[in-house]
Amino acid sequence: MSENNKDIKDLIAPVTKLQEIARQTHKLFSPIIEQQKKLQEKIFIELPLKTREAVIELGNHGWFLDLEMIPSEVFELKDVFIAGDDKEAESTLVEHFKGRLSEIEKSIINKFPHRKKILMAAFRAHKRMEYELSIPVLLTQADGICFDVIKTDLFGKHNNKPKTANHVKQYVSSALDEALLQSLMQKLPISASKKERDDDFNELNRHAVLHGESFDYGTEVNSFKAISLINYVSWVLELEDEKPKQ
């Protein structure tokens, strides 16, 4: 063997060894990589579905999603509501929004500074436990914010469907987007008309509050529900940077 060939062989040897190690490593970890891929695919498919179900279940009880919630906690809250333990679920949600109160107030005011005076008054009323005052203002401001962003009434209906439903479809670019927007695409108790509410209806309802039909709406839970609504509306419509799909 010539000196040149020997030098080349010596140079190639480490590379060949590394290639063999790479082959063995791939063979060793291939099942793990495959399992991880399957898990990712499962999450990709199931997360939007589970989120959709949770968003609707919370909405049916007058609550709205906060992006700061951990997905697993949201799914658990859905299960607690389905199990019929509303008090436990609502206690958890009240504590969550109580801890987020100042941050939510600042965030909404920063996004909609022309509403600052009214929003501050509503949050002050909530902090003073004057829920009869905070709730109507929060509901009207949520409606106003929705109109600011998408020029559509938050609580209005057309052909027995929320007016927001058709509009927000323009914002959907993924299954997860659609899941997050479900509270604007479904008929929920918060916007139920008088004829849609039976004698046993006891959820927070915008029409009943603003039209003087309800006399017992002024509770801490309902005020936090209203806060969850205005918080939801203030962020969920930014999914597509406030621009419809082209």
The upper half-sphere exposure of residue 182, i.e. CA atoms within 13 Å in the direction of its Cβ, equals 20
Query: In the structure encoding, which two tokens stand for residue 127, read together?
Result: 């902090």
Per-residue pLDDT reduced to its tens digit, 17-58: 666 666 666 566 555 555 555 544 444 457 888 999 999 999
pLDDT at 244: 45
pLDDT at 8 over 80: no
Output the pLDDT for position 101. 98
List, in sequence order, every residue forming a beta bridge with 157; answer none if it has no partner.
Answer: 162
Mean pLDDT, residues 181-188 taken together: 93
Q: Considering the chain, what is the average pLDDT of its residues?
A: 85
With tokens 């906060």, the residue in question is 66
Reduced 3-state DSSP string for the chain: CCHHHHHHHHHHHHHHHHHHHHHHHHHHHHHHHHHHHHHHHHHHHHHHHHHHHHHHHHHHCCCCCCCCCCHHHHHHHHHHHHCCCHHHHHHHHHHHHHHHHHHHHHHHHHHCHHHHHHHHHHHHHHHCCCHHHHHHHHHHHHHHHHHHHHCCCCCCEECCEEHHHHHHHHHCCCHHHHHHCHHHCCCCHHHCCHHHCCCCCCCCCHHHHHCCCCCCCCCHHHHHHHHHHHHHHHHHCCCCCCCCCC
The CA distance from 128 to 219, in Å, is 12
Q: pLDDT band at residue 200, thresholds of 50, 70 and 90?
A: confident
The per-residue pLDDT for 158 is 86
The amino acid that residue 180 corresponds to is L
- pTM comes to 0.80
